Structure 1
């Protein structure tokens, strides 16, 4: 037993996660009625979601309080990459929908959720989140609010004594250590998540939407393996694929099963640390990316919206589709960092074509049906790109750090 434990602890986290994936899939196929295994996944995701808000606040506030004038954080480049990547993904989704137009069956869907009325409401909600009560922001995992208050506290702490700053640094270090403990439990959490997915009887219904789901997955894969590497190459002027594949392997796999950009923040923080990136940058860019870097969400919004447009026989020229890409990119920035967050923004895009809210919510219902796979791929693309663009921004200005 000691040898097994020693071999387990010495194995890389990726190998342990792979073992968890295989074990979960096997148990899900052979013993789908076992109770309790799926709970491992819920506990893992719950632990990540619980610690992530505290981690973000502690790291951002500490980084800003210790920041010295003249230090380069590359945040302007990171934000530009986030926006460029999201818009590029939206445009690729439009082109893919033009090349392979798909239709969906619109039937009544009981979706007990309220969609935003338009882009104005999406932007208004984002602004209101900035001034949310700091304690409520942490409790509700409102990362826009957490970031804004962490920035304010961090800037104010610059004037504090050295001992106060050390206390803040200790808080950040302790929180990071707790995160490390939780991440080491990832193999067991992934085992539970895979088991729950495989044993879910709802997966069989995905066959009815095979073409639509295939288009979504293929578009996201194209963005992850072609568009993002192209953007990275233009900035780094070096083969981007080792970095791209590492981000997909470490961040993307975990995000695929947690289906939450917010829950994957601690994983991305650890990956940035392993890549040797500047903590002054990634302590802000990673939580910010979980909110505004939404390439996968932009793909989902555009593909499902254009599927509804094709179903209803609405004619769309490329100019209108280009406007749709802009709307999708802006709307995606308001997507929540939880599973299925992008689906509620589909009615905003549908409104461009005069599609009623009732029909748009039926499209949302279709999204929830295929969400088992679609949302997993979307989150994997979103979350892995957070690390990718953070690294690209730093490698573009610091050649010595390049992998």
Structure 2
């Protein structure tokens, strides 16, 4: 009975999710400053929230893709070709921007020692990145679920969905109901986002603080500035080119409701349910977003393109290597391909820095040390990168959906005439 609820409980459900997340952020910062021990004790809340999202995301992706394709109406377009072009142009533009900014404001870094402590095994070249991508595509479906291999899940989802298009309506309805039930579980998990943010922020600040970031202030400013320009200038321009109207209402909504949760989870994969719910609430084309959101979380990585480019050029400058215009353009292409292969987990883009560094003859031992620097500044860099990656998905999907609605409206009005 609602009238017997505690005033705080009523307030919690009355205000929106975003104000609740901001409140969790403020309380987390406050607790970290008051007591580091207490802040570390609430880390469980953050871990539980992230694990809940990560546990439901793979099965959600598989079921949603199957349901979307199985129930796809003949004659309807899902606009995947346009979306793929947008994804690649967005990443290429981000890499070009990062290159120009790095030329104008070059970053110099001190290569750190103790590389062995990182314990990472980055890929040896672009060929290995592409080979890994192909390997993920033909993964065992059970293994893809267990390992959260989203590229493999999308391929299996498409295959099963195409097969089920020939099934009877009862089977299709069952798949749609299963999709709805898993989405319902996701909505319950998302309601706990404020508690998750509270635990994540408090424990992160208590454990690392921000003092160590001062040494890499210039590098961080370059990284974050590039990502903000992509979010506020490049993405809106690409969206305007598709939808032919003011893109900023869509851009600002995606930043508020997709970028903020992604900033704290630091995982594009974990933010898939958030983007699904947002696209549904904004009444975007379901045939498009049901496939495009998980696909974007796997391959649309403008933030990763910025990170790989900036850190690679910082390494190049620090070692006194000259970069000509042709090498810079080639770097942008390689970075865009590498960004597609970045895993949708925290720090996934950092592992691909050695691939770009290898273009300039920088040995793996040094480029792996740059990964350590990336991990050091990752408290901010990785959060902003993930926020850009995730919100870009919503912007591009929204632009295509808006264009589709306008075309349908024109067809209907011309038929009425």
TM-score category (smaller protein): over 0.9
Instruction: Please state if 1:317 is matched with 2:324.
Output: yes
1:26 maps to 30
Which residue of the partner structure matches residue 346 of structure 1?
353
Q: Deviations over 1:6-35 (max 9, x none)?
A: 222121111111111111111111122114
CA separation in 1, counterparts of 2:112 and 2:18? Answer: 42
1:127-138 counterparts in 2 under 5 A?
Answer: 127-138=134-145
Sort the Cα spacing of 1:120 and 1:43 in 2 relative to 1 into closer, same or farther, 3 A: same
Structure 1 residue 209 corresponds to structure 2 residue 209: no
Q: Does 1:357 align with 2:364?
A: yes
Distance 1:13 1:189 in 2: 12
Cα deviation code 1:246-279 (max 9, x no counterpart)? 1011110000010000000000000000110122
Structure 1 residue 4: Cα displacement = 2.4
Provide the residue aligned with 1:49 in structure 2: 54
1:307 corresponds to which residue?
314
Aligned to 1:245: 252
Is the Cα–Cα contact under 8 Å of residues 259 and 390 in structure 2 kept in the other structure? yes
User: 1:33 is paired with a residue of what secondary structure?
Assistant: helix
- The reply on whether 1:60 has 2:65 as its aligned counterpart is yes
3-state DSSP of counterpart to 1:159: coil
Moved more, 164-173 or 257-266: 164-173
3-state SS of the aligned residue for 2:37? coil
Displacement of 1:202 after TM fit? 5.0
Aligned to 1:373: 380
Secondary structure of 1:337's match?
A: coil
Distance 1:233 1:150 in 2: 31
2:413 maps to what in 1? none
Match of 1:176 in 2: 183
CA shift at 1:210, angstroms?
0.9
**8-17 or 335-344: which moved more?**
8-17
Q: Give the TM-score normalised by the residue count of structure 1.
A: 0.97
Name the counterpart of 2:75: 70
Distance in 1 (alpha carbons) for counterparts of 2:134 and 2:143: 16
Match of residue 96 from structure 1:
101
Distance 2:168 2:243 in 1: 40
CA distance in 2, matches of 1:223, 1:196: 30
CA distance in 2: counterparts of 1:119 and 1:334, whole angstroms? 10
* Match of residue 414 from structure 2: none
Gaps of 5+ in 2: 410-417
CA contact (8 A) 1:260 1:338 kept: yes
The answer on 1:275 being equivalent to 2:282 is yes
Q: Which segment drifts farther, 229-238 or 342-351?
A: 229-238
Give yes or no for the alignment of 1:297 onto 2:304: yes
Within a 5 Å distance, the mapping from 1:121-200 to structure 2 comes to 121-200=128-207
Counterpart in 2 of 1:106?
111
How far 1:3 moved relative to its partner?
Answer: 2.7
Q: Deviations over 1:359-386 (max 9, x none)?
A: 1111111111111111001000001101
Counterpart-to-counterpart distance in 1, 2:241 and 2:156 = 34
SS in 2 for 1:67: coil
The answer to whether the Cα contact below 8 Å between 2:112 and 2:373 also exists between their aligned partners in 1 is no
Partner of 1:393: 400
Structure 2 Cα separation of the partners of residues 273 and 107 of structure 1: 46
Residues 207-242 of structure 1, C-alpha deviation per residue, up to 9 Å, x if partnerless? 111111111111111111111111112222211111
* TM-score when normalising by structure 2: 0.94
1:116 alignment partner in structure 2: 123
**1:401 CA displacement:** 9.5
> Which position in structure 1 is the counterpart of 2:45?
40
CA deviation digits over 1:183-204, x for unaligned, max 9? 1111111111111222123532
Structure 1 residues 158, 400: CA separation in 2 closer, same or farther (over 3 Å shift)?
closer
Task: Tell whether the 8 Å contact from 2:63 to 2:178 is kept in structure 1 after alignment.
Answer: yes
Query: In the aligned structure 2, how far is the partner of 1:36 from the partner of 1:269?
Result: 32
